[in-house]
Structure 1
Amino acid sequence: MPKHTPDNPGAQPGGTLIIIGGHEAKEGRREILREVARRVRGGRLVIATVASHEPEGYFEGYQGGFEGLGVGDLVELYVEDRTEALGEDKLGLLDGATGVFFTGGDQLRITSQIGDTPLEARIRQVYEAGGVIAGTSAGASAMCETMLVKGHSKESYRIGDLAMAPGLGLIRGVIIDQHFAERGRMGRLLGAVAQNPRVLGIGIDEDTAIVVEGGHFRVIGSGAVYVADGAGITHSNIAEARRDEPLSLYDVRLHVLSAGDAFDLGKRKPVPAEALREGVPGD
């Protein structure tokens, strides 16, 4: 089983992560939801609406979205207050679960309500047993060891204009932003990479996802995925510039991937998708 090292940032034991940029299609082909359902293998899928302050309607939307896709049982997990995640009542919803799907909202609600609780431990058990953990929008950001919480969109990054916080740590060595092209978030992703060039920045468009397994991912959906690699940065003003000054950054490497493309997180480079199907993530 691959272990996480600085040279292999994405490698994780366990099952599959499906990390979605938001607004995944719930009608028509439903390619992303279909992939989640396939990984659930006819078992129980828990729709975790924890990120929402007002979850009404979220679960019903996913009931319709997953209808006819072969999910055996669909249940909702919501935590109004952290005390619920510390008790036994909610744990029963995860009995027999082969998948958990975090919906959108506020990623800080996910980490603050279930972080380091028996509920989070049970979700990790689902993953480590070979299950699928999916997350869309806020649920995507929360997958990381460090998650983007807020920062301005549609403009160049200004020094200090970024808030980050500890995430669930299901995927390491990356930081993820969502609704990426639609909300013009390249500036803030580069700001995050500038703060720690060891970390790969991954921006995911709406109705687009990365399917992460064993240190690599492949792209599905209708949009693009952007990977910003700061390992070769030769200059940055992030530590010296005054607050609100624009970021200056040289020699950032950028990959743009679309459906069918694949990426080796350890080697920090795209690889042929055919190699993944053959079980060989790259040369």
Structure 2
Amino acid sequence: MRNLIASILFISSASVFAAATDTATPVTGPTAGTLLVVGGGDKTSIWPTFLDLAGGKDAPIVVITTASPKNGADNKDFQELQALGATHLTLLHTDDRTKANSNEFTAPLREAKAVWITGGRQWRLVDSYLNTKTEKEIFNLLDRGGVVGGSSAGASIQASYLLRGARSGNSVLMAAGYEEGFGFLKNTAVDQHVNTRGRAEDMLQVLEAHPNLLGIGLDESTGIIVRKDRADVIGAGYAHFTAREVGKDRSFELQSGGAFDLGSRHPIDLVSEQAGDQGTTAKDPGTVRVAIYADEGSPKAPDLIEGCLGTLPEKFHLERVTADQIRQGVLSNFDVIAQGGGRASLQAEALGDDGKEKIREFLRKGGGYVGICAGAYLAASDRPYYLRIVNARVVDREHWARGGGDVQIRFTDEGKTELRQETPVVQIRYNQGPLLARDSQADLPSYTELAVYETEIAKKGAPEGVMKGTSAMISAPFGNGRVFLSSPHPERTPGLESILQSAVLWVAKRDTPANP
């Protein structure tokens, strides 16, 4: 995972500002409607957003499968939408331009609330639909406030300049005869699979030949939601925006929760923007407002968390909140909720369905969640009363009461970066926290493993050899927000307070404190 500090420096050095993209006449994005442009790969974290934008699972959705060799009902995207409960899907495919210009073929588009364009090869979309009635009806759908989404080839085709359209192969960036996209995004070129296919520098070649374009590169499992000239980043990776200014290339990398003004070609300062909405002066972007759950099922955790974060008052503003306050919407006043140790079942019962949904809503809008021990149990996906905000299951649940003591954990490369840890192995306090492993929930993205257990606790009849190698600390996106979970207790381990401090700053999308 890339260095979070580098990402923040991209933004802070760019003279960022709040852009009035909701009212201004767009120069790049659609005048009406919404675009969802996705960089390919696993879309489990993207589908809920697409369905929400479309109007729900019962909304009429057209799936255009033409880019893919699997252009029938066996198309993966079509099947995944079906599996998620979309009830009004229409599959649309033809390689006959005469048919693409017919009223009969385009009829589903006139009734649709949303269109999804699958991945595959861009040239197939060009040959079948460019400058046809099908393309016109998709524009009409946008004009009446609809949604157009697409992944991989279905992302690149949405730009005005088409990348990788060559029939001969997708390694050809600019192919004569296949350089025109549908143009939902004007004056742009969109690339995809940036992180997995080594395409980070490819956009520079395109801008050398076409310096007036805005280049947008998307990592896999990452997308942008575009309304007019505003692009909001969602998903697990980075959105890369590159433009040529006075002969020089200026690039910005934004993660989930970031926003970009496509018209001015600069990031949007969300802190100033939110303050402007409230008619107040922007808070110091280094100050994170942390809500600490202090209710049933968490008797000692608030004191421990306050003891850890309270040593940096310039970084953290701390307040305790009750389950009832969460149900009433108090989280809108905070950047992060910290859910500490205790009993996850009691925390879930105190929150109730309404409180748990308020936490999920808070995350979808860009908030952060930090769960420790019981708070990590609560975030998992394998129990109906859990929050289900991380695609993680609990291993050997039968022996959850396996005892407490000191154990060793080993940080992964991602964990050392994300949590700002230089020592690969540390000793940390453990007290019956969850042994986490990857789950297989279709509507949740896979998590990033930050640390694993090197040693174990196996008391009270717990079998030996089970705990070693399971995930001790993990992170994941949820909606526009971020989640960090720790099975052991950094806040109870002298000398490891910086782990929790860095985690809170990471989920809040802020800088990390310097480590001694």
Using structure 2 for the length normalisation, give the TM-score: 0.45
Question: Which amino acid in the other structure matches residue 214 of structure 1?
Answer: K
Q: Which residue does the alignment assign to 2:31?
A: 13
Q: How much has 1:77 moved relative to structure 2? A: 0.5
Q: 2:252 aligns with which of 236, 250, 255?
A: 255
Specify whether residues 54 and 278 from structure 1 end up closer, same or farther in structure 2 by C-alpha distance, changes over 3 A only: farther
Question: Which amino acid in the other structure matches residue 157 of structure 2?
Answer: A
Q: Which residue does the alignment assign to 1:264?
A: 261
Q: 1:137 aligns with which of 130, 134, 152?
A: 152
Q: CA RMSD in A?
A: 2.7
**Bigger fraction of residues in helix:** 2
State the percentage of identical aligned residues: 29
Q: Which residue does the alignment assign to 2:163?
A: 148
Q: Which residue does the alignment assign to 1:73?
A: 88
Q: Deviations over 1:221-278 (max 9, x none)?
A: 1111111121232xxxxxxxxxxxxxxxxx3211111100000111111113463898
Q: Deviations over 1:143-192 (max 9, x none)?
A: 011111258999xxxxx963251110111121110011111112321100
Question: Which amino acid in the other structure matches residue 174 of structure 1?
Answer: T
What does residue range 141-180 of structure 1 map to in structure 2 within 5 Å? 141-149=156-164, 162-163=174-175, 165-180=179-194
Equivalent pairs counted in the alignment come to 249
Please state if 1:55 is matched with 2:52.
no
Any conservation in 1 of the 2:95–2:124 contact (CA below 8 Å)? no
- Partner-residue secondary structure (3-state), 1:75: strand
Any conservation in 2 of the 1:216–1:263 contact (CA below 8 Å)? yes
Q: Which residue does the alignment assign to 1:184?
A: 198
- Partner-residue secondary structure (3-state), 2:159: coil
Q: 1:87 aligns with which of 102, 117, 138?
A: 102
In structure 1, stretches of 5+ residues that fail to align are: 155-159, 234-250
Any conservation in 2 of the 1:47–1:100 contact (CA below 8 Å)? yes
Q: Which residue does the alignment assign to 1:245?
A: none
Question: Which amino acid in the other structure matches residue 200 of structure 1?
Answer: L
C-alpha distance in 1 between matches for 2:108 and 2:173: 39
Specify whether residues 125 and 138 from structure 1 end up closer, same or farther in structure 2 by C-alpha distance, changes over 3 A only: same
C-alpha distance in 2 between matches for 1:232 and 1:82: 42
- Partner-residue secondary structure (3-state), 1:35: helix
Which moved further from structure 2: 266-275 or 12-21? Answer: 266-275
Any conservation in 2 of the 1:19–1:135 contact (CA below 8 Å)? yes
C-alpha distance in 1 between matches for 2:170 and 2:123: 19
- Partner-residue secondary structure (3-state), 2:211: coil
- Partner-residue secondary structure (3-state), 2:179: strand
- Partner-residue secondary structure (3-state), 2:241: strand
In structure 2, stretches of 5+ residues that fail to align are: 1-22, 279-516
What does residue range 27-66 of structure 1 map to in structure 2 within 5 Å? 30-42=44-56, 43-56=59-72, 58-59=74-75, 61-65=77-81
Q: How much has 1:197 moved relative to structure 2? A: 1.8
Q: How much has 1:66 moved relative to structure 2? A: 5.1
C-alpha distance in 1 between matches for 2:204 and 2:110: 40
Using structure 1 for the length normalisation, give the TM-score: 0.79
Specify whether residues 187 and 134 from structure 1 end up closer, same or farther in structure 2 by C-alpha distance, changes over 3 A only: same
- Partner-residue secondary structure (3-state), 1:218: strand
Specify whether residues 107 and 2 from structure 1 end up closer, same or farther in structure 2 by C-alpha distance, changes over 3 A only: farther
Which moved further from structure 2: 14-23 or 104-113? Answer: 104-113
Q: How much has 1:194 moved relative to structure 2? A: 1.2
Any conservation in 2 of the 1:225–1:258 contact (CA below 8 Å)? yes
Specify whether residues 153 and 136 from structure 1 end up closer, same or farther in structure 2 by C-alpha distance, changes over 3 A only: closer
Q: Which residue does the alignment assign to 1:242?
A: none
Please state if 1:212 is matched with 2:226.
yes
Q: Which residue does the alignment assign to 1:104?
A: 119
**Which has the greater radius of gyration?**
2
Q: Which residue does the alignment assign to 1:244?
A: none
- Partner-residue secondary structure (3-state), 1:63: helix
C-alpha distance in 1 between matches for 2:214 and 2:201: 14
- Partner-residue secondary structure (3-state), 1:162: coil
C-alpha distance in 2 between matches for 1:277 and 1:41: 29
C-alpha distance in 2 between matches for 1:57 and 1:215: 35
